[in-house]
Amino acid sequence: RINLGETRPEVVKLGSGERTKEVDYASPDRGTRVKVFGRVHRERKQAQVLFVTLRDGFGYLQCVLTGPLAKTYDAVTLTRETSMMITGEMWEVPPGAHAPDNRELHADYFEIIGKAPGGDDAITNKVQEKGDPQTLLDQRHLVLRGEKAAAVMFVRSAVEHAFHTKYHELNYIKVSPPALVQTQVEGGSTLFEFDYYSEKAYLTQSSQLYLETALPFAGNVYCIEKSFRAEKSLTRRHLSEYTHVEAELDFITFDDLLNHLEDVICSVIDLVLAQPRINKMIHDLNPKFQKPSRPFKRMRYADAITWLNDHGINNEDDKPHEFGDDIAEAAERRMTDILDVPVLLTYFPVPIKSFYMTKDPEDERVTESVDLLIPGVGEIVGGSMRMHDYEELMEAYKRNGIPPEPYYWYTDQRRYGTSPHGGYGLGLERFLAWMCGQHTVRDTCFYPRYMGRCRP
Ligand code: 4AD
């Protein structure tokens, strides 16, 4: 039955919920006539009927092609990922049958827009559920069409939006610091260096130093920008390019910083879980996910060293941990997994932390620094109070072998009306790996970048 022109059907997006307009398809005498565009997510051919699940990024819709429509050449040879237009009537599914959003489109007309290959080149042969990870990364552009990979991208979008919302609610100003810089923040070993019109320059490791310079004109500030690290190790939580959520707070104490961190993280989780569609995706991806309860467990570095030794967890040289050791990834992970709650690990020793961190006035061996550790992932946040005394900062440059000249603009903060201030950086991909229960941060990136991979 082809009745195009009888009524001009409304073009609707698929799915239901926050992103799509409701279609009144359940009127008692007839379904609503609509026109939809999408790609074939799945198809199932039966003797007289062709079931097509159409996908348009907004949602999924089961479409039923019957009679002569199901016998056309295009219908008989229909392949997954083919893009098409379908018109028809939207009905509730009959009792006992199942379809996305409990509805289906009874097609009366369709047009193929772009055919997708079948046979060896069919998407199902290119992208196998349990395929080898490198092949799947080469085919990332196709993998993203799958429900699971796409769901992580939807959660990612919601989480990023929630951070913006939370900072907006707190009246923080957003700034956009440069990615091309001539200073380092987190040590020379992970700097990506490049030639900038014959000058040496780097891809930024963190926007922190620039954020600090925004405090005098903006008060509290934040940014969500890319950071780059030339990490020379292949781990499940290190990327070369990642999204860094960073904030800087003026006229605060270290305790204010810790409380703020808890507030931001819990609020972002609330904002994200309040969206039914995203909430369902998170729980499908990670059924165990729960918002942590406040206050978070707080633990001093020195106590963590004792804890590790009490639990027989050795350092990288397989010796008991000593005060001053960097707690390696494996030990940190074991501790967090045993504690099984988020931990604010604080007061790390001066030599293992960044040059700009303030010392604890009560114990000059340690800094007012914090890492937030999460079970299953490890460190997702690093933050600290920043030195605000000019002389102390000059000393720190010297101690760390950093030439102060390129940092004049950072140092000037201490000359023109200094203030006690602090901030932090949160790795968005690690936050997502936690929420979405992903084994590696690579699966939380649109297109991951890490040692050995810069394509597609
Ligand atoms: O602890 P980091 O190195 O701290 C800084 O960069 C500070 N300057 C941030 C600040 O205070 N504004 O990095 C902060 C967070 C880490 O906790 C981690 O979540 C993430 O950034 N991160 C990485 N994520 C993925 N791949 C990497 N190679 C990462 N390096 C750090």
- Look at residues 94, 121, 148 and tell me which one is the last residue of a structural domain: 121
Domain of residue 76: give its range: 10-121
Average pLDDT for 141-157: 97
Whether the pTM exceeds 0.90: the reply is yes
Residue 452 domain-assigned? no
Residue 456 domain-assigned? no
pLDDT, tens only, 388-403:
999 999 999 999 999 9
Say yes or no: 115 and 248 in one domain.
no
Residue 315 domain-assigned? yes
Average pLDDT for 60-71: 95
Say yes or no: 143 and 110 in one domain.
no
**435 pLDDT above the threshold of 50:** yes
Say yes or no: 158 and 59 in one domain.
no
Residue 150 domain-assigned? yes
Say yes or no: 163 and 65 in one domain.
no
- Look at residues 93, 121, 149 and tell me which one is the last residue of a structural domain: 121
The CA distance from 81 to 357, in Å, is: 53
The mean pLDDT value of the chain amounts to 93
- Look at residues 121, 155, 183 and tell me which one is the last residue of a structural domain: 121
Say yes or no: 39 and 66 in one domain.
yes
Lowest mean pLDDT among 38-47, 204-213, 251-260: 38-47
Residue 128 domain-assigned? no
Say yes or no: 16 and 60 in one domain.
yes
- Which atom of ligand 1 is least distant from the CA of 381? 17
Q: Which band of pLDDT confidence, cut at 50, 70 and 90, is reported for residue 95?
A: confident
Phi, psi of 112 (to 5 degrees): -80, 135
Residue 453 domain-assigned? no
The CATH number covering residue 29 comes to 2.40.50.140
- The pLDDT score that the predictor gives to residue 1 is 33
Residue 246 domain-assigned? yes
Say yes or no: 336 and 221 in one domain.
yes
Q: Which band of pLDDT confidence, cut at 50, 70 and 90, is reported for residue 23?
A: low
The CA distance from 447 to 144, in Å, is: 10
In this prediction the ipTM stands at: 0.99
The CATH number covering residue 186 comes to 3.30.930.10
What does DSSP say about strands 199-203 and 343-346: parallel, antiparallel, or unpaired?
unpaired
**26 pLDDT above the threshold of 70:** no
Say yes or no: 142 and 178 in one domain.
yes
Ligand 1, pocket residues at CB < 6 Å = 185-186, 206, 208, 229, 231, 238-239, 242, 244, 246, 379-383, 423-427, 429-430, 441
**220 pLDDT above the threshold of 60:** yes
Residue 2 domain-assigned? no
Say yes or no: 112 and 209 in one domain.
no
Phi, psi of 385 (to 5 degrees): -85, 150
Pick from 35, 71, 33: which is nearest to 50 by CA? 71
Say yes or no: 62 and 162 in one domain.
no
- The pLDDT score that the predictor gives to residue 15 is 75
Say yes or no: 220 and 359 in one domain.
yes
Lowest mean pLDDT among 122-131, 150-159, 163-172: 122-131
pLDDT, tens only, 308-365:
999 999 999 999 999 999 999 999 999 999 999 999 999 999 999 999 999 999 999 9
Q: Which band of pLDDT confidence, cut at 50, 70 and 90, is reported for residue 11?
A: confident
H or E element: which one contains 212? Answer: helix 208-218
Q: How far is the CA of 124 from the centre of ligand 1 (A)?
A: 37
Q: How far is the CA of 184 from the centre of ligand 1 (A)?
A: 13
Q: Which band of pLDDT confidence, cut at 50, 70 and 90, is reported for residue 271?
A: very high
The CA distance from 134 to 124, in Å, is: 17
Average pLDDT for 111-128: 93
Structural domains in the chain (count): 2
Substitution candidate for ligand 1 out of 224, 229, 344, 435 with most atoms within 8 A of CB: 229
Average pLDDT for 145-162: 97
Say yes or no: 311 and 414 in one domain.
yes
